[in-house]
Structure formats: structure tokens, C-alpha cells
């Protein structure tokens, strides 16, 4: 990437502030129990942690909304929680971060999804280390009446926002009624798919990772030339305007309806501590950038800068606009960026 392309990212970041994003997704409450490694248990060959603290954070399909808020955009969150204390805490945490939660619906027949992590930390751990995770969730599709209410919320809110982002964590919320409401909204509709790519035909942007693309295609993406062939064909099959596939340490690939194809390497050199939230960052930044009028390649480049910052943090973290601006400063001075 030359200096001209780099220079265009700063005004794009500014243009994203104040944009309005509706995120519809599977809502999780991430719970963390931190402890110091004390000894090996006498009951089983497992580590005993002496608890030091507990934390709770919004997780799952809430992440893109939090990314939007960190970048100065407005965010609406839609999804489903249970009629329980965990759901109420999750709703309040989102509201406390400035997210509009009027689209967070309650379904008394299912629990709020919670993911509880046991985390070891201490003198020898530079970053906390997960030891185990316990999930409580119901992956069945949401009740048809709830699905209709959620789709109605998407339709009613669409005129107020610039883009609608579907965050599919395969926990039953992103059902056909919701997808259809986003697709016919008249707004930019994007999706971060962890499920069946075929469910998301015709959207403005479909994003998945390499493993998901290979699973759908039934074969490896291969070398760069084969990747281009595979992903150009995959975009055509999905009938989407843009397809982005994240490639782990290789960056990300972009295929567009106009035939353009690009691969963007990681643009920020940071030690990778935790990849949690990197994909959410890519889809949120790209959705906001496209809504702000960016071309897809510039949007992808900016998302790669943001994702490169996030992987240097621990947990479901976000990169702020100020952090991205500082990274762009470093890149402009030729430190820590790829030409």
C-alpha cells in the first residue's frame, strides 16, 4: 500500500463518526473467573485456581455494536435474551456503553447465552490464559413469534440507520425472517457468517473466515491464484456485491461484483495475544466505512488496521478511533506497516 492509499484512510475514519449501524445478532454474556494457579488438585489431574476476581462483558453478536461505539458511530442492538438476571445485566451493560437496546427482545422460553471462562493469571503469565470454558445456550431457532417481532424491528428501524449488520454466531437468532428483513430494507446489509453461507445470498457484503469458505466450497482455497479463482466464483454463487474472507496471518481477501479482486496483508505489526473480536472488528469497520461512501478496498484496509490493534489486546476488545489514528501515524512514518 502506497502513501496515497494510506492517506485516504484518515478522512475515512473521520467520515465514519456519527454513522448509524443496526446490529442484529446472537447476544452473549461473557463471564470471566480469574485466579492464581495454586497447585494440582488431589481429586483429578487439573490445576486449582485461587479466585482473585470476576468480570462480565457483552460478547457474541454484541461485538460489532461495541466496535461502532468505539469509533464514534451510533449503534442499535437487536437480538434475544432470556428472562433472567444475566439478560438484564447484558442489556444494561450495552446501554451503559451508549448502545440503543430497544431491539433486545426477551424470550422466557430460553436462557440468555452465557460463556464462563476460567482464566489463570499471575507472575509467569504475561497475558491471562484460559483454562476451561462452560457454555450455557440454546441453539434452536428462536420462536416464530419472536422472529416476526425481530424482523418487524429491523423493518421499522431501517429508515433511521445507514447499515444493517447481521452477526451470526449460530445460536438461533439469524433466521430467514430476519435475513429477509435486512435484505429488503433498502439499506446496506452486511453479514458476518459463521453458519451456512447460502443463507445470505444477495447482501451488500458477506464476510467469513477461510475455514468457512473452504467448508462451503468443499476444498482448500490453495495458493493466491487458486484463491482468486475460488473466491471470485464463491462471490458469484452468493450473488453478493462484496465477499471478504479473512485469512488469519495472511490478512484478508476481497472479491467484488465488478470483477475486482484484492488481497490485503496485515497492516499493523503487533504481537498476537488474542484473536477474539478480530472478525467482528473487520465486519463492523467495513460496514461503517461502506456506509460512509468508501470503496470496498479502502474499507478493507482500514478494517485490517483496526483488527491488527485488537489482536494485541486480551478478550473481546475494541480499537478506538484514537488508537487507529495513532497506528496510521506510525504507518506514515514507515514504522510497523507493510508496503
Mean pLDDT of 99-124: 94
Beta-carbon contacts of 174 under 8 Å, excluding residues fewer than 6 positions away, are: 24, 25, 26, 166, 167, 168, 191, 195, 199
Q: Cell digits for 107?
A: 424470550
What is residue 122's predicted lDDT score, i.e. its pLDDT?
79
Q: Cell digits for 171?
A: 445460536
Query: Strand order of the sheet with strand 125-136?
Result: 47-60, 27-40, 113-122, 125-136
Range in 19-28, 158-167, 329-338 the model is least confident about: 329-338
What is residue 336's predicted lDDT score, i.e. its pLDDT?
46
| Beta-bridge partner residues of 283 | none
The single-letter DSSP state of residue 112 is: P
54 domain residue, yes or no? no
What is residue 162's predicted lDDT score, i.e. its pLDDT?
99
Which residue out of 26, 162, 192, 280 is catalytically annotated? Answer: 280
Per residue in 124-153, is it b (16+ CB within 10 Å) or e — as a string? eeeebeeeeeeeebbeeebbeebbebbbeb
- Does residue 271 carry a pLDDT above 80? no
Tell me if 133 sits within 8 A of 28, measured CB to CB.
no
Q: What is the CATH number of the domain that holds 259?
A: 3.40.1190.20
Q: Indicate if the alpha-carbon torsion angle 254, 186, 26, 73 is positive or negative.
A: positive
- Does residue 335 carry a pLDDT above 60? no
Look up 280 and say whether it is catalytic.
yes
Query: pLDDT tens digit string along 188-200?
Result: 999 999 878 999 9
Binned at pLDDT 50, 70 and 90, residue 268 comes out as confident
Range in 90-94, 225-229, 300-304, 326-330 the model is least confident about: 326-330
24 domain residue, yes or no? yes
Query: pLDDT tens digit string along 141-186?
Result: 999 999 999 999 999 999 999 999 999 999 999 999 999 999 999 9
What is residue 337's predicted lDDT score, i.e. its pLDDT?
46
What is residue 182's predicted lDDT score, i.e. its pLDDT?
99
1 domain residue, yes or no? no
3-state secondary structure of 118: strand
170: region left, alpha or beta (phi > 0 left; psi from -120 to 50 alpha): left
| Listed residue (291, 332, 328, 292) closest to 308, CA to CA | 328
What is residue 208's predicted lDDT score, i.e. its pLDDT?
97
Mean pLDDT of 32-56: 95
Q: Hey, how many other C-beta atoms are within 10 angstroms of the C-beta on 235?
A: 22
The proportion of the chain whose per-residue pLDDT surpasses 90, expressed as a percent, equals 79
3-state secondary structure of 232: helix
- Does residue 125 carry a pLDDT above 60? no
175 domain residue, yes or no? yes
195 domain residue, yes or no? yes
Question: Which range marks the domain in which residue 225 is found?
Answer: 10-28+59-113+139-320
Domain count within the chain: 1
- Does residue 105 carry a pLDDT above 50? yes
Of the CA atoms within 13 Å of residue 176, those in its CB half-sphere come to 2
Average pLDDT, the chain: 92
| Beta-bridge partner residues of 113 | 28
Tell me if 114 sits within 8 A of 31, measured CB to CB.
yes
20 domain residue, yes or no? yes
170 domain residue, yes or no? yes
156 domain residue, yes or no? yes
Mean pLDDT of 261-282: 78
Residue given cell 453478536 in the structure block: 61
Amino acid at each position: 500500500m502506497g502513501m496515497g492509499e494510506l492517506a485516504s484512510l484518515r478522512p475515512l475514519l473521520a467520515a465514519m463518526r456519527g454513522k448509524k449501524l443496526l446490529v442484529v445478532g446472537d447476544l452473549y454474556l461473557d463471564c470471566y473467573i480469574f485466579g492464581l494457579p495454586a497447585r494440582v488438585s488431589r481429586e483429578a489431574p487439573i490445576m486449582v485456581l485461587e479466585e482473585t476476581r470476576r468480570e462480565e462483558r457483552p460478547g457474541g453478536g454484541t461485538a460489532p455494536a461495541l466496535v461502532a461505539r468505539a469509533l464514534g458511530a451510533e449503534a442499535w442492538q437487536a437480538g434475544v435474551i432470556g428472562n433472567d438476571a444475566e439478560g438484564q445485566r447484558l442489556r444494561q451493560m450495552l446501554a451503559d456503553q451508549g448502545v440503543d437496546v430497544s431491539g433486545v427482545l426477551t424470550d422466557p422460553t430460553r436462557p440468555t447465552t452465557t460463556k464462563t471462562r476460567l482464566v489463570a493469571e499471575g507472575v509467569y503469565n504475561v497475558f491471562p490464559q484460559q483454562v476451561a470454558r462452560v457454555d450455557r445456550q440454546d441453539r434452536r431457532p428462536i420462536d416464530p413469534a419472536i422472529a416476526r417481532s425481530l424482523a418487524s424491528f429491523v423493518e421499522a428501524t431501517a429508515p433511521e440507520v445507514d447499515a444493517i449488520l447481521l452477526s451470526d454466531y449460530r445460536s438461533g437468532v439469524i433466521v430467514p425472517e430476519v435475513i429477509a428483513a435486512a435484505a429488503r430494507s433498502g439499506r446496506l446489509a452486511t453479514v458476518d457468517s459463521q453458519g451456512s453461507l447460502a443463507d445470505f445470498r444477495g447482501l451488500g457484503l458477506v464476510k467469513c473466515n477461510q475455514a468457512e469458505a473452504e467448508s462451503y466450497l468443499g476444498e482448500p482455497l490453495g495458493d493466491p491464484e487458486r484463491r482468486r479463482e475460488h473466491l471470485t466464483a464463491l462471490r458469484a454463487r452468493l450473488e453478493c456485491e462484496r465477499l471478504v474472507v479473512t485469512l488469519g496471518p495472511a490478512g484478508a481477501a476481497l472479491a467484488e461484483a465488478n470483477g475486482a479482486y484484492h488481497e490485503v496483508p496485515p497492516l499493523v505489526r503487533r504481537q498476537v495475544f488474542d484473536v477474539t473480536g478480530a472478525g467482528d472488528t473487520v465486519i463492523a469497520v467495513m460496514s461503517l466505512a461502506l456506509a460512509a461512501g468508501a470503496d470496498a478496498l479502502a474499507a478493507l484496509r482500514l478494517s485490517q488496521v483496526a483488527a491488527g490493534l485488537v489482536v494485541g489486546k486480551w478478550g473481546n476488545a475494541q480499537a478506538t478511533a484514537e488508537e487507529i489514528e495513532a497506528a496510521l501515524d506510525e504507518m506514515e512514518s514507515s514504522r510497523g506497516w507493510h508496503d
